[in-house]
Amino acid sequence: MALQQIVEQTVTGLGYDLVEIERCPGGLLRITIDWPWQAPAEGVEPLPEEYVTVEDCEKVTRQLQFALEVDGAEYKRLEVSSPGIDRPLRHEQDYVRFAGSVIDLTLKAPIGVAGVGQVSPLRKKFRGTLERADAGGWQIVWSDEPPVKPGHRVSKKRVPAPLQALGFTLDELRDARLAPIVDFKGRGAKSGSLPD
């Protein structure tokens, strides 16, 4: 049986989703797992996000070591982890799940068209908000305005840079990941207020 099938059967059999399999130098086999996600039904409050714990990774590691040994798969080290803050987006369901989030997107080829004041035709990398496009596809929306540095004041008269949007299909992507943005104010902290 192929490595992909063994890992996928083992991970899904334990109730997790397989996010990624990587073969790394030095014989490292890196497996990334997550909890399965279902889109909430219309009008139903979504359940709180469930996160992969160290115990989950240990459980999957033990089972994978056994399954890979039985099949005679070659590897020197096995690493099982959660997707992390820069989680890759691989399937349509990932895009539905993370719509409204900031993502880093890399196209397979440059966009190839530009107008006055538009994006460079050689550009392949973008960071912006993932949104559903009108035609049923996906788009990324961003502004090329530089971020405000801490402690600097922004004039109320300053005109913000216009928003730009780029529609894309999943076939046009080389890579898409959640942008690794960390908020050190903590969960639930309101902007402008400090935690007690």
- What's 75's domain CATH number? 3.30.300
Where in the sequence is the domain holding 117, given as residue range(s)? 92-147+158-178
Residue with tokens 């730009």: 164
Residue pair 82/52 in contact by the 8 Å Cβ criterion: yes
3-state secondary structure of 174: strand
Q: Looking at the domain assignment, is residue 186 inside a domain?
A: no
Listed in order, strand segments (DSSP E) in the chain are 17-24, 28-34, 77-81, 102-107, 125-132, 138-143, 163-168, 173-178
Q: What is the pLDDT of residue 192?
A: 47
Taken in order 13, 14, 18, 23, the sign of the CA dihedral is: negative
CATH number, position 169: 2.30.30
Residue 98, domain member (yes or no): yes
Q: Could you tell me if 97 and 60 lie in one domain?
A: no
Q: pLDDT tens, position by position, for the chain (196 residues)?
A: 688 899 999 999 999 999 989 998 888 999 999 988 877 777 777 667 778 899 999 999 999 999 988 888 888 999 999 998 888 898 888 888 888 899 999 988 887 655 445 667 778 888 999 998 877 788 888 887 777 777 788 777 877 777 888 888 888 888 899 988 877 765 554 444 444 4
